[in-house]
Amino acid sequence: MISSNDRNRVLLSLRDRPEGVDSVGLIETLCLPRATVERHLLSCKDYGLATWARDRNGSGLAAITSWGRDYLVRQGL
């Protein structure tokens, strides 16, 4: 998995919200383009770092997994 500052920002934001967050709220919080956040959420979901229940409109609840937390610890974050 390649390193990405934006992906780490997405994961850090998810870590700070243990109950999860709607991806639209995540986009607003991070001030990143929707496509960027969605790409990183899909990547994190594929690698088991996060869960994301995506709706047709692109929104949906996202949450970090225990693997995602471990990944951040290994990155020193």
Q: What is the pLDDT of residues 43-60, one digit of tens each?
A: 999 999 999 988 877 688
d(CA 77, CA 58): 28
Tell me: pLDDT of 2 over 50: no
CB atoms within 10 A of CB 33: 11
Q: Which domains does the chain have, with CATH numbers?
A: 5-74 (1.10.10.10)
pLDDT at 58: 67
